[in-house]
Structure 1
């Protein structure tokens, strides 16, 4: 009996419950057994909502204890109630499955709602199965198997801070797992930057996917040919109805396992057009020319929304640069989230550090001027910035601006039309920054971060600054007048008025 396979174990359970075993569940059960038998310690099971994946993982847990009663299993979920639900399910399986009745302990105190200990030969401190929420303290726990069941839900990933916190807490589980242990993630993606994603979350400094190295099984509702993976429960008519009720974002994310934001943002981030090119600056015959993606640029806007807070605490200090070309398209070439270095504050104060970063930003991108939002702490920064520009030998304008319109209105006015027209391009570095998250998640009156959005909105709404003509004696001291008609000229005529 101990050699009974997981698929047979599941079939016996379903038969006793008067249920059939769908081919989808056979496929998942075989994959779980194959990975376990092959010694694969890192597993990721992604399956569409209502596919029965958590029930199958519960049967998998009972089967593992049936095979080896000395195993310790820790279940971690988005909250304690969800984790406890799986533990209670496994308890019922052990009580009622024909193969596991002898595992039930004699003492009632070993058969609690969120933890239990089966009959085993080893004397171990930790129970056979234990439920914990992702926010719980796991210090001191030890487990042979850690099951992360739906740890990513809207409540744990709808803001940047929550996504960072979720990753940090999941990394703590490495210290719970015994050497040679197994970790199994089960869930569906709830965000474009999901922990289940196949790409690195560059905005927070990840160099690879969060679950890099995990053996993956992905089971979307529809196969590559568009057929249902569980036709008995989800026929074509039911899928069509579900798609209409759920909406495209939720259907793609929850049923097709393609990470999308299921939070309805106000702005259409998918309309942002990506490019990889660099600025090409040239001078000839006393005139400058700036080209991007083979288009000549004719104007530029730069906006700095200053703050002394750290980027992960409070408002961020953000500077952005937007160029426009002869066709009227906008090119969001750079968004920088500035931060001062606390280690050198004694020698260089926070404001000076930020101003020096702004100077370098202007120099790098050939910007003729910067608008400094002077609400709050920004009042004294223009004078300090002009001093740093002079010290750096860079001639650029510093324009002071007090924002009097509501931020929500500014953002909508700046982005709505240009995104709808498909005329806003963004550099690769912008896509890899936190700006894209802000754009996807922003809603009027919401609590999501919008510092980058506000700075870019300022660029889009501000009037372009005309650049002066390059004179030979000013070479290297200021950006060239790369925009057409940026210089004035005098014409001699032979008529009078």
Structure 2
């Protein structure tokens, strides 16, 4: 038998079927032949990764019939597609025909090739990621598009998926290989985790290597030659035409693009990865089939985003990095945040004690200026017991003591406490701690009966999408080793359709925002209404003498 490299094996098969092979396919061949112990291959939809994987499996078995492959897809039927595809390549490849390498026994789920000496584990074993593969053994485990909306839609589903992937550790024969192939479907995609692994070898091809997104513009500047420019997303999207819809001019080290009309959303891209197959007409069709920008970004540009819209998009938060200053003038105190005058301060505490499925005791502090902006200034998690006492019964610590520190630091006038699940214990404990510390602060209790998701949306969504919700950098700063803060993740993952999800900070934030009345602000105080002419007739002006004498 002639041993050949994968690129040569692939080209022989491509020539047999009269394929035109793009250059990046050969890069994929080189990667698969030597990806080490952990590999990640990401390619846009429709760029042939499944086909290449079929040929790769056949090449592995051609060179070594004792090689054991466990191929896992999102479901059993998805995994079976690669199993059947590999079998077809063995049947049609000239080298496999010449040396009689073929399937000799077994079914689609598990089968053996000529020369395999293993009687228990198939040369190809294809199963869905949620199927039971306990007792299997493999030299190579392939996870092909195992991350799909159906198995990452809830925190429980994401945890179950990672548990299943963790079980593969006991299946892989020492010295074996793990290969991940797919596109992301969520912010905290498992592919993002693999990319952070120093032992992983990654090959990522996006549909467009360079990209730039703009909102509500009529002119822009990019540092690459624009080839494709899309306006909008979904059925109303349009691929703009150079010379007709826009003009391009060289400007310094980049390009200036002037549009004939203003556009609410524009995506500017460089040359496509596979322009011979993905023509302008084809890309326009695919753009219109994507319902959301996230779907387009995740499936074609391979950004870690969910395929649906993010209802509370944290990217719309406006960050700031200043602290409020308390001043005294003309016998009165006033507070400023940078150049803005602060006219209100609200603080909400959502205790975790007494609640099921909750481990976060969230406190949110929001400042309000005189024109209606809200500043999410602090978001902290209280730890330990709600309250601790010494032997004489005096309050000496606990969550309420930590909250007193926050009250003292920012001169908080009142705290609102959600009493669901904890009754009147937390408010009374906080009042005792405030009295012990000699701090003046009001304590308001609130029992929530409204649907929580509705309450969160009503409180946060309006200020967020209108550009009036600011956030202090301390809230979105990330702990060491993490990409995003817990608060940021809760906004990214928030799904109004789910009843159980991590939303402690969001629930407390919504309450803090709505605790302060909305203000029209000084910007509007000098505006005069445009009065319409009074077209109704009156009786004119009449002077009358009144005589009250009898």
CA contact (8 A) 2:318 2:471 kept: yes
**Which of 509, 512, 517 is equivalent to 1:459?**
512
How is 1:362-441 mapped onto 2 (pairs within 5 angstroms)? 362-363=407-408, 366-392=411-437, 394-431=439-476, 432-441=484-493
Between 1:147-156 and 1:220-229, the stretch displaced more is 220-229
Report which structure shows greater RCO (CA 8 Å, sep ≥6). Answer: 1
Partner of 1:172: 167
C-alpha distance in 1 between matches for 2:276 and 2:207? 12
How is 1:42-441 mapped onto 2 (pairs within 5 angstroms)? 42-101=38-97, 102-104=100-102, 106=104, 108=105, 111-120=106-115, 122-123=117-118, 125-197=120-192, 211-224=197-210, 226-246=270-290, 247-275=292-320, 277=321, 279=323, 297-308=342-353, 313=357, 317-325=361-369, 328-336=372-380, 354-363=399-408, 366-392=411-437, 394-431=439-476, 432-441=484-493
Q: Shift of the alpha carbon at 1:250?
A: 0.9
Greater percentage in strand: 2
Structure 1: segments with no counterpart, 5+ residues: 201-207, 465-497
Q: Shift of the alpha carbon at 1:255?
A: 0.5
C-alpha distance in 2 between matches for 1:99 and 1:293? 73
Q: Shift of the alpha carbon at 1:61?
A: 1.5
Query: Could you say what the CA RMSD is over the residues aligned between the two structures, in angstroms?
Result: 3.4
Between 1:255-264 and 1:324-333, the stretch displaced more is 324-333
Q: Shift of the alpha carbon at 1:371?
A: 0.1
Larger Rg over CA atoms: 2
Task: Give a deviation string over 1:265-294, Cα, whole Å, max 9, x none.
Answer: 43444311234x364667889987866567
Task: Give a deviation string over 1:365-387, Cα, whole Å, max 9, x none.
Answer: 55332101234434432112222
Task: Give a deviation string over 1:24-43, Cα, whole Å, max 9, x none.
Answer: 4233223323x34xxx2221
C-alpha distance in 1 between matches for 2:515 and 2:141? 53
Distance 1:152 1:445, change over 3 A: closer
Q: Which runs of 4+ in 1 moved over 6 A?
A: 282-291
Q: Shift of the alpha carbon at 1:94?
A: 1.9
Q: Secondary structure of the equivalent of 1:51?
A: coil
Greater percentage in helix: 1
Distance 1:99 1:430, change over 3 A: farther
Distance 1:31 1:190, change over 3 A: same
